[in-house]
Structure 1
Amino acid sequence: MSQPAGRIVRELHDEPHLDGRRITVRFIKEQIEGRGLTPRTVADRHDLDVADVYRALTYYHDHPEEMRAVERQREAAIEEHEHLTTDPNDVRG
């Protein structure tokens, strides 16, 4: 049985996500539009109500400027911390 989420919230220094969950709007959008999963599949895999999945998709498309800003912030954070990752080709066993 899915957990009720309902609202999309954005906490300080965070990106929009389902209230009471750490599942982001961007993650749900990527699962459906990027990976080709159905809303029902995403809901079932993450114990969500399918309405919450549609709510997240609606939020994503209703707030294009905010979501572009979130994506730019994420890309900048990845670039900023890229030096902390290890290239698998550099690891010797």
Structure 2
Amino acid sequence: MNDRLGRIKALWRKANAFAEEAYNAPYRSAIARAKRDQDDLFMLMVYSELMGIPNPASFYTLELQPLMLERFHEWHIRMGMEHSPLDNIRCC
């Protein structure tokens, strides 16, 4: 009985692995492209910071600060920090 159950489990694992591969196969190139784009953006941001070029995203995202302030407060409370860990962000 145990041997039969073991074979059924092994067969189930193989079928699960095959189904996972078949489902994920069409999306591999899209995922790789998205990862490459994200890496390129990160490299651009790091390089521009290294060269002293100001980050234009900080200007364009300034209007999001009121929305993010509330979420930041909830986050640092959830993390167990009584007050904001950042000197320039006072939310409490």
TM-score, scaled relative to structure 1: 0.27
Larger radius of gyration, structure 1 or 2? 2
Q: Which has the higher helix share?
A: 2
Q: Which has the higher strand share?
A: 1
Indicate the structure whose relative CO is greater, using CA pairs within 8 Å and at least 6 residues apart.
Answer: 1
TM-score, scaled relative to structure 2: 0.27
